[in-house]
Amino acid sequence: MKTAYVYELINDRTKTAVENAKRAEQHHLQASCMLPFGVDVNPFTEVYKLMERLL
């Protein structure tokens, strides 16, 4: 199945991606950006929160 193949390719990188997203969020918070972040805060994503809940 194609989906399983993609998962195998990215599975070992998921933890690093989540850590990087958290670090980016902390960077923006320390730079006095207010939540919720708007389009001015780039790069940023909160997808890591979903990933943590799914894993």
Per residue in 31-43, pLDDT (tens digit) is 888 887 877 787 7
Mean pLDDT of all residues in the chain?
A: 84
Provide CB contacts within 8 A for 53, sequence distance 6+: none
Provide CB contacts within 8 A for 25, sequence distance 6+: 44, 46
Report the predicted TM-score, pTM, of the whole model to 2 decimal places: 0.71
Which pLDDT band holds residue 19 (cuts at 50, 70, 90)?
A: very high
Of 6-10, 36-40, 45-49, give the lowest mean pLDDT range. Answer: 36-40
Query: Would you state the pLDDT for residue 23?
Result: 92
